[in-house]
Structure 1
């Protein structure tokens, strides 16, 4: 159990390797990262016994940017038949687990394995319960089986409070037909990622106010209006008529980078296609000047050195706000509905 296995968006394996290598160095965990391009996964091989556990215990998963899911464990080769007996034998040295997830990779091959996993999960779960290897305990370690094929699986463990809350790190969100664009799911996923569900009624409450920069045609505005939040939609382009008819949207035809609200708002959201450094400066201005209390902003990524660039920009934002004497919580994640971008969430803690 000396390997950390991680899921990610295909094409971002290098970013996961760079990020885990940096965190392992910080925690003095010896090892190396490896990944195949477009495989949707990466591994960190620890050099010392117990290194994988120390790495996961010393790092909050929610603070990682590019990994979608992680687990510590080992690869197991499976026969064509009687796979369950092989798994039970290997699991004899594992702790008793409180839940079971069967996962696949976010690739075409992975999608083809989904049917196999659905059929295999029932018999496996029954066998684990009968063997005393699986109990209903949400506090106990989660058993994660990631199938790379029907003959190879990563047998992993993760703590429920320090791993993704969804299998493979992918929330199952349904596109609302009333929304004017599919980008609406980016903001909904950001709320699931950064705002605890039990706080939605307080932090995303009716009659709150928001500004949506680069709003047209209104995918992100729709999410705010759906929560009965009053929105100033800033964009020179047209907004969906259904949103304007809601009575909750004011359309300001202006440049999102020069717009200034007449009074502070609760939320600022922004999904403008722009250089990430300029978007980072925009975040610092809105939080630093007190124009908003919380913000969700997408940073479009460069072609190379993407993890290094994101880390640099986050550090710049944090340093800039600290220099203003502000306490701000900052989160950043490449969400499932993101593409060549990451989503940042910031919240002022002094109000």
Structure 2
């Protein structure tokens, strides 16, 4: 992977998040920045849909990239290093100052990501951006700044906080989200029992590598779905050909059972155990996160499953603190069992008050 030249400087980082989660995104970013010995304030206006780290002194871009792995931030949908901020863009000609500012950075890019916050104001700006994007794309290509044939180059982010205030930055192709604003464009399956099936589909795409998806989402593998009703997650697993044991005292939708790959058991997800180890255990039970986290760790520690994907329903306040508490509970059980593990967590676009976690042995 190529990184921007080390002599180029960055002003900080911008993290896009779900509106209303700015305190959690800012708390996490501040904690990671402190651990990385990065000095500067972190701020995020309420309901703005983003927060920023402003470095006290600009740093070489490759240094910030090494110290702060923004792709690991839970509450970040999308992230990039900030190289310039443009205030009060003229309404009649936004193109000229934008191209000039981008050219001044001395970088070339493989992709243009034109973004707004996921807010009502951002949605109003998005109509303008759809018309503006081809103009900016063409101007950058003409200037030799946009090279889609060079995927090793960084991606260019042009983030319109509003119609006249723009943050410019870059990200490495392996960082952040592949989707603008971190919002995947997923199509609802025709017969899916609920929209929760999109949550699991996004989790597979976001939390698993392509090789992991290919190896673990294969026909014939066994899966367990705890708290399955009405069957959206079981349906998603079955769409990959997995055979699913769906546990819930409530009914499953006929569309889920019609797949022929789902067996419904009316049982308690906290006490039921499979006869043999399964490849996957997934869980979307509405329960206290401090009850779910140890249960997930126990399934992995005891060998009941090889990997699990689950939601933690976070409280309305102090979400970040509760998440760290759950991390500690999982770590405590798996360390006691002498198990090295991988835990990836993300606040997905299709999540609301929960975060989605992937847990497997290392």
Q: TM-score, normalised by structure 2?
A: 0.93
State how far apart, in whole Å, the 2-side matches of 1:195 and 1:281 are. 22
Matches within 5 A, 1:159-170: 159-170=172-183
Aligned counterpart in structure 2 of residue 285 of structure 1, from 283, 298, 315? 298
Q: Distance in 2 between matches of 1:67 and 1:239?
A: 33
Structure 1 stretches of at least 4 aligned residues deviating more than 3 Å after TM superposition? 51-56
CA apart distance, 1:326: 1.0
Q: Which runs of 5+ in 2 are unaligned?
A: 1-9
Equivalent in 73, 80, 83 of residue 94 of structure 2 = 83
Matches within 5 A, 1:1-351: 1-50=10-59, 54-73=63-82, 74-77=84-87, 78-94=89-105, 95-136=107-148, 137-349=150-362
Stretch of structure 1 that moved more, 293-302 or 123-132: 123-132
CA distance in 2, matches of 1:246, 1:70: 39
SS in 2 for 1:50: strand
Distance 2:298 2:291 in 1: 11
For structure 1, the residue ranges without an aligned partner over 5 or more in a row are none
Alpha-carbon deviation of 1:52?
6.7
Distance 2:283 2:215 in 1: 21
How much does 1:185 deviate? Answer: 0.8
Deviations 1:120-176 (A, max 9, x none): 111111111111222122111111001122211111111111221111111111111
- CA deviation profile, 1:214-250 (whole Å, cap 9, x unmatched): 0011000000111111111000001112322332111
| 1:18-38 deviation line (CA, Å, top 9, x unaligned) | 111111111111001111111
SS at 1:304 equivalent: coil
Superposed displacement of residue 3, structure 1 = 2.9
Q: Deviations over 1:173-216 (max 9, x none)?
A: 11112110111111111100111224423211100000000001
Q: Distance in 2 between matches of 1:83 and 1:242?
A: 50
| Rounded Cα–Cα distance in structure 2 between residues aligned with 1:316 and 1:273 | 18
The alignment yields a C-alpha RMSD, in angstroms, of 1.4
TM-score by length of 1: 0.96
The residue that corresponds to 2:6 in the other structure is: none
Q: Deviations over 1:71-128 (max 9, x none)?
A: 1223202111221111122123211112111011101111111111111111111111
The structural deviation recorded for 1:5 is: 1.2
- CA distance in 1: counterparts of 2:62 and 2:77, whole angstroms: 18
Distance 1:245 1:49, change over 3 A: closer
Deviates more, 1:105-114 or 1:192-201: 192-201
Is this contact kept in 2: 1:2–1:51, CA < 8 A? no
In structure 2, what is the Cα distance between the partners aligned to 1:308 and 1:65? 12
How many residue pairs are counted as aligned between the two chains?
Answer: 349
- Identify if the C-alpha distance between structure 1 residues 201 and 89 changes in structure 2 by more than 3 Å, giving closer, same or farther: closer
Task: Work out the CA distance in 2 between the residues paired with 1:306 and 1:320.
Answer: 22
